[in-house]
Amino acid sequence: MPLSNVEGRSYGPQTIHLTETLSRQFVAATGDDESRWVDAAPPSFAAALLFGIAPEFLADPDVRPFTKVLVHSDQRFTWSGPLSHGSVWTVTATVTSVRSRGAMNFVTLNADAVGDNGSLLSSTSVFLMGDEPGTGDIDERTEPPILKHAQIDSVSAVRLQEGSIIGPVAKSVDRLGLVKYAAVSGDFNPVHLDHDSAVASGLAGVVVHGLLMSAWMLQTAVAGTSGDAPARSARLRFKSPLFPAQQAIITGAAKTTADGLAVSLTTSHDDVALVTATVTIAPGG
């Protein structure tokens, strides 16, 4: 059965209780500022809301055969308000598009999370999926020790404005950190945890969650803002993988647009772009 058969199929609703404990665990797992997120989770918690519904989609009997290759390629978020501690969220999702290219499928999943605090989060994810293991020559790597990571910088809480230059900010994560992020976000894709699964997907070894890198970028974008809902929207493109213990460097710039301050960021390793992002900061954020 082709994966295109699931186009138009919906999932949910799923309910997520955004407790203060869960928020603090997420902040710790992503290296965010614990003193900043007292009454609400950071915007990057949107990833955990997305993965409140993603497991149901991935467990669909018509989808499961196509998860032998599962790569996150593009992500969009829009926020209408804060992710308040104590709020309860109802998450639903629909497969809006399945495009086939050879043995691979580009699947677009739209998800909406509605909070009982009046906030709305919208998410559009594009996944590259296939029913055959990855092929080609792989320069398989040896996994680093579980607690090894490279330099990690705290993000400077400087208010951004037109022309602001961002970074370089150093980020890294060890293999234990990937387990912690998976536990708090719900993203248990085996390529982030198991070497053999990663190699079977055509990767050199375990790779860092794309949405963990997006969390680093979002916290960089909103570090100098105030309030619990500083981000209006974000678009991220995942271009190349980062491996645990490797050094990631975040750089970027800010400019004023009609929608607010647009922060353009790139996460790179050895001058290779891994993730690019544009984050729009809400006026007054």
48 bridge partner residues: none
Q: How confident is the model at residue 40, as a pLDDT?
A: 98
The boundaries of the domain holding residue 155 are 7-133+145-281
For residue 276, is it within any domain? Answer: yes
For residue 229, is it within any domain? Answer: yes
Q: How confident is the model at residue 134, as a pLDDT?
A: 66
Q: How confident is the model at residue 231, as a pLDDT?
A: 96
For residue 1, is it within any domain? Answer: no
Q: How confident is the model at residue 147, as a pLDDT?
A: 98
Flag whether the pTM goes above 0.85: yes
Q: How confident is the model at residue 250, as a pLDDT?
A: 98
Alpha carbon of residue 224 to chain centroid: 21
DSSP E strands, the chain: 10-18, 40-41, 69-79, 83-84, 87-101, 104-115, 120-130, 165-171, 231-238, 248-257, 260-269, 272-281
Q: Where are the alpha helices (DSSP H) in 8-163?
A: 20-30, 46-50, 54-59
Q: Specify the CATH number for the domain of residue 261.
A: 3.10.129.10
Q: How confident is the model at residue 108, as a pLDDT?
A: 98
Strand pairing category for 83-84 and 69-79: unpaired
Q: How confident is the model at residue 16, as a pLDDT?
A: 97
Count of domains in the chain? Answer: 1
For residue 138, is it within any domain? Answer: no
Structure-block tokens of residue 183 = 């536990």
| Spans in the chain with pLDDT lower than 70 | 134-136, 284-285
Q: How confident is the model at residue 216, as a pLDDT?
A: 98
